[in-house]
Amino acid sequence: MSGSATAKHSVALGASLIVLAFACVALMSAFGKAAKDVSTGAIVFFQNFISLLLFSPWVLRKGFSELQTARIWLHILRAVGGLLSQALMFAAVRKMTLVDAVLLSNSAPLFIPLVAWIWLKEKIGGIVWISLSVGFAGVILILRPSLALLSNPAALLALSAALFSAFALVSVNQLSNTEPAQRILFYYFLFSSAAAAPFAFWKWKTPTSHDWLLLGGIGVTMALSQLLIIFAYKQASAERIAPFNYTVVIFSGVIGWVVWNNRPGMLAVAGVLLVTVGGVLSTMFGGRNSHGGHLGWLGYWNHLLPVKEAA
């Protein structure tokens, strides 16, 4: 097989894996919305604890030496940002349509250039400013600012989730200079589980069998999405397949329509399109911190995982 054919095959496989990963993210968010009788703290705890249990055998297959790190505080900082993003997203998804909550909480690419500019003094180019303007115009269409927004601030919670997600993703990019993917994931799930545990068991209410199934689904789909993303970014570079991240909006829209009969209006559809275009352009033309997956609270960049390139 020629180098060109191999490259095309890798991109197609990588894109397919990314689409499957974000189908899992949509399902995870839907399970969180359906688990309306379970506290947000419990949802976030079991999401991360189940993922920790599933990933630990893989991470520790070569022993505990794989966990040695000199950047533990950056791991903790990243976990705080990611955990806050998760909690805010699950809180928002209960009070608004699934597609809007998922889109707003996954609009991190619109915030990443701003976080990198403030934190790392990374310059923002002209095309990126245009992409951010387009994306935030879409956010405004979805939010529809009015006094009603203050009485039901769920959309603001989802948008805040994206902001903390951007902070966590920039932290991941800093970690990825020295840390392998499995170590970053392990510490994220470990610290997130530990931080969420007190909130999960404070005023504990034993879930029903139905709720246990939903919690299990949240944890498994979270872990599966991470595994699929790891495989995807071994096949193709971020610039080629990151735009497929936004298939999560399509999956969320279909699930919301079928399960909760949430039919988006024309303004919402226009907002979704603008946010998607702005996010894709920001990912493609932004600085080094903008290049990569933006799975809410995790994320992968070209230098984080080896990419198979054509000979």
Q: How confident is the model at residue 142 (pLDDT cuts 50, 70, 90)?
A: confident
Tokens of 168: 């966590």
304 located within any domain: no
297 located within any domain: no
What would the pLDDT profile of 261-294 be if each residue is shown by its tens digit? 998 888 888 988 999 898 888 877 776 665 544 4
302 located within any domain: no
Residue with tokens 């180019």: 125
229 located within any domain: yes
| 311 pLDDT above the threshold of 50 | no
Q: pLDDT at position 307, please?
A: 37
**Stretch 229-235: mean pLDDT:** 82
CB atoms within 10 A of CB 85: 26
172 located within any domain: yes
Tokens of 154: 């769920």
300 located within any domain: no
Q: How confident is the model at residue 147 (pLDDT cuts 50, 70, 90)?
A: low
What domain range includes position 229?
3-290
187 located within any domain: yes
- Of all residues in the chain, the percent with pLDDT exceeding 90 is 51
Q: What is the mean pLDDT of the chain?
A: 85
What would the pLDDT profile of 61-112 be if each residue is shown by its tens digit? 888 888 999 999 999 999 999 999 999 999 999 999 999 999 999 888 889 8
In this structure, are residues 243 and 110 in contact, taking their beta carbons and an 8 Å threshold?
no
C-alpha pair distances (Å), 232 with each of 16, 59, 280: 8, 18, 17
- What is the number of alpha carbons within 13 Å of residue 12 lying toward its C-beta? 6
| Model confidence, pTM | 0.87
299 located within any domain: no
Tokens of 296: 């809410």
Number of domains in the chain: 1
Q: pLDDT at position 75, please?
A: 95
In this structure, are residues 298 and 188 in contact, taking their beta carbons and an 8 Å threshold?
yes
Q: How confident is the model at residue 300 (pLDDT cuts 50, 70, 90)?
A: very low
